[in-house]
Structure 1
């Protein structure tokens, strides 16, 4: 793994350095004030990646790096979306993305929502009704920024889940990597394994 996108790190700002070791360095991170949430981007130390900028929110919900790799300018985000309907989260994330029109994007993380209720969730009807609004926000975000789900592109009808809710008795695919359509030309050693 050359780039690791971490979510739910639950670290204080002063403790984020603990994620580093002789193999990986922290390129960006965000911590919540109360040791909840938290995201980080770790980069393998020997990866020749020119980081131009890094940034984050102040609530442990997203961080990013803007970098050059083999003359490709890209922004890589680690995202931990709220587990409730929150349009302001997607609005703030979208504003950061729109500040970098010269980049292609890779956004990975826990989105706490499904893109397609028919494929990404095995549910009961109560869970479906509660998740529709969040799913709509996520789909609108992806559409507005022209981001794709490469796993779904390769597996158009497969069902695979990353989360089980014992409360709702449902399985969901809520962890994703989204990317710009132009990322298919990126050298494979940069993409996540």
Structure 2
């Protein structure tokens, strides 16, 4: 049996916090690690690490795969703006795309169009998509207000994609 956990960590620069987080996970958003700081993740993690690279202590998405998980990597795509990481490969002879997203916190449908268009081989692979989409998919479930506001364009782009597949 395999399990997956996704966490919004809001920074991994403190060693105690980093050690606690690295004891049990796979997807991370908002790592706040500069490109040069990603070696900190490798110190305490035994397994595969994939991350998006960004110049400042902001954003960041990472996928960590435990050493006991027989995932075979074939390709990776890392967003230069630190917003997503996509890893293509196979697990138990099943072709997979692992994608982790930390979307902008404003209505940016261009981001979603670009990200979704970057996903490779979607017709031949199973997609595991995780992360922080920073958008509303269902106004009744995702908002505490009773106001009926129209869905943001970014939500419509994402919904359309998910309905297609």
Q: TM (normalized to structure 2)? A: 0.75
Pair 1:37-2:37 in alignment:
no
Aligned to 1:132: 151
1:144 shift after superposition: 2.3
SS in 1 for 2:139: coil
Q: 1:142 to 1:76 in 2, by over 3 A?
A: farther
1:153-192 Cα distance to aligned partner (Å, 9 max, x none): xxxxxxxxxxxxxxxxxxxxxxxxxxx6xxxxxxxxxxxx
Aligned to 1:160: none
**Which residue of the other structure, out of 144, 154, 157, is the alignment partner of 2:161?**
144
Q: TM (normalized to structure 1)? A: 0.65
Pair 1:118-2:137 in alignment:
no
**Which residue of the other structure, out of 50, 60, 72, is the alignment partner of 1:50?**
72
1:53-91 Cα distance to aligned partner (Å, 9 max, x none): 111110110001101111110101110011101122111
Gaps (5+ residues) in structure 2?
Answer: 5-24
Pair 1:95-2:109 in alignment:
no
Pair 1:11-2:30 in alignment:
no
**Which residue of the other structure, out of 104, 109, 125, is the alignment partner of 1:82?**
104
1:32 shift after superposition: 2.3
* Number of residue equivalences: 143
Taking only aligned residues, the RMSD between alpha carbons, in angstroms, comes to 2.3
Asked if 2 retains the 8 angstrom alpha-carbon contact of 1:54 and 1:66, the reply is yes
Pair 1:64-2:86 in alignment:
yes
Gaps (5+ residues) in structure 1?
Answer: 148-179, 181-193
CA distance in 2, matches of 1:8, 1:54: 19
1:22 shift after superposition: 5.1
Q: 1:46 to 1:23 in 2, by over 3 A?
A: farther
Query: Which of 1 and 2 has higher RCO (CA within 8 Å, sep 6+)?
Result: 1
